[in-house]
Amino acid sequence: MNPMRFSGQTILVLGLGKSGLAAARLLSSQGASVIAADNRPLADLPAVNNSVQNSEIFLVPESEVNLSGLSRLVVSPGVPLDRPLLAEARRRGIPILGEVELAFEFLRGPIIAITGSNGKTTTTALVGHILQQAGIDCQVGGNIGLPVTAMIDSSRFTRWNVLELSSFQLETVDRFHAQIAAVLNVTPNHLDRHGAFDAYAAAKGRIFRNQRSADWAVLNAANPTSAAYAPSTPASIARFCGESASLHDGTIQVFGQTLMPLSDIPLPGAHNQQNVMAAALISSLAGVSHSAIASAVSSFRGVPHRLEFIRELRGVRFYNDSKATSVDATLKALEALPGPLWVILGGLGKGASYSPLLPQLRAKAKAALLIGAAAAGIAHDLEGHLPLELSLTLDNALASAFRQAQPGDSILLAPACASFDQFLSFEHRGDTFRQLVENL
């Protein structure tokens, strides 16, 4: 890597979350003068302190940014693209790129890129686990774990980069190219950011940008939006819940051969059967044998905050699905677990209706305990159909649910909302829930 790639350039990084900070550090290491802007004060950005003190970046409030003299602008995934500052940068002809696009300029090795409204974290982690167990060199990152810019130094031309990518990351890709690209499903999500479902689906579809005939696109034949991407890529198509991978007589079939019985999958729920089919297809295309895939799937224990079993106390089981930040993800969790359930819902809403949860809630839930900024909106959609409690905070909701729960019940955190009203991230919310449960 040329250590002076951006020597003499002044580059603005907008948004100093994990990805923005990694991008700023990369640019500084490449010789750029890095200006970083965020709406939050430095006191709320503890990870940024070292970079400021070491003069890697110069931090300014977003309201004080001067666009004059900038060579380019790097936008973090969490920053909406309709910000006035970005509109002015476009008017001035300043190139704007995202953290993933910046990383692609430097990243070595083939890329597996995975997106979807639900299941992308589990599927990405599972693909990484399968490759590692099979002895195939890989590293995992993106929307899970390391930002892509933080994966560059450890990338190798013979090492697979297994990337989970969100719609926020994908809407700014341009030259990015994945040898294997997968869209697991697309259901309404992030409408508060994208405005309309078509715009959200279009952002997801950018994962196929720049694919070639020698590449592979992995699609879900059971999800109409995923299936409809087929004409948008010249790559060969592999379909799960379709001709390439399917369920048959209690087994998963991949490319016409039996992979494994469903009973050997350690993850609960029909949605995880789809995740396993997708991961098996991707891993097979990356060169893993069926026997190695089956063995690795059997030893996979899932990811934190995704239907994570915490403990059983007095006959009550506790599950952390803080990663369920959309209505559809919460629906998958409700479908996966037997009742009776006490379900904790709420956080920062994304503009979607909560009514699709009603059939499963009516069938399985003793009550829904509502927290966070979206509590009133959730109550409006669910009122009159099942008991509701306006708990407002996570500790109140858990205490109330446990006080009323009977042996055989389960308490499920599956918020159907983002976490940023009361927590730093869904991980912070899930860790808090786990600690509260362990303290009972």
Question: Does a structural domain hold residue 314?
Answer: yes
Decide which of 263, 298, 333 is a domain's last residue.
Answer: 298
Residue with tokens 């940023």: 420
364 is catalytic: no
Overall size of the chain counted in residues? 440
Averaged pLDDT of the chain? 94
Decide which of 267, 298, 329 is a domain's last residue.
Answer: 298
Question: Does a structural domain hold residue 56?
Answer: yes
Contacts of 298 by beta carbon, 8 Å cutoff, 6+ apart:
260, 264, 265, 266
What does pTM read for this prediction?
0.87
DSSP state of 222: T
Domain with 121 in it: what CATH number?
3.40.1190.10
Residue 397's domain comprises: 308-439
Q: What percent of the chain has pLDDT over 70?
A: 98
Count structural domains, the chain.
3
Angle separating helix axes 270-285 and 290-298, nearest 10 degrees: 140
B/e letters for 321-346, b = 16+ CB within 10 Å, e = fewer, are bbbbbbbbbbbbbbebbebebbbbbb
d(CA 258, CA 243): 13
pLDDT at 1 over 70: no
Contact criterion met (CB below 8 Å) for 238 and 285: yes
Please give the angle made by the CA atoms of 28, 30 and 35, to the nearest 5 degrees: 30
Domain with 390 in it: what CATH number?
3.90.190.20
Sorting pLDDT into bands at 50, 70 and 90, what band is 141?
A: very high
Question: Does a structural domain hold residue 151?
Answer: yes
Q: Are residues 312 and 214 in the same domain?
A: no
Q: Are residues 89 and 168 in the same domain?
A: no
204 is catalytic: no
Sorting pLDDT into bands at 50, 70 and 90, what band is 425?
A: very high
| Phi (first) and psi of residue 398, to 5 degrees | -65, -45
Q: Are residues 124 and 228 in the same domain?
A: yes
pLDDT digits (tens, 9 = 90+) for 79-108: 999 999 999 999 999 999 999 999 999 999
Candidates 129, 190, 305, 366; catalytic one = 190
How many Cβ atoms are within 10 Å of 411's Cβ, its own excluded? 27
Candidates 118, 143, 185, 223; catalytic one = 143
Averaged over 237-254, what is the pLDDT?
98
pLDDT digits (tens, 9 = 90+) for 50-72: 777 777 889 888 889 999 999 99
Q: Are residues 159 and 289 in the same domain?
A: yes
Question: Does a structural domain hold residue 49?
Answer: yes
pLDDT digits (tens, 9 = 90+) for 365-384: 999 999 999 999 999 999 99
DSSP state of 5: T
Q: Are residues 189 and 326 in the same domain?
A: no
190 is catalytic: yes
pLDDT digits (tens, 9 = 90+) for 275-305: 999 999 999 999 999 999 999 999 998 889 9
Decide which of 94, 128, 154 is a domain's last residue.
Answer: 94
Candidates 118, 120, 220, 275; catalytic one = 120
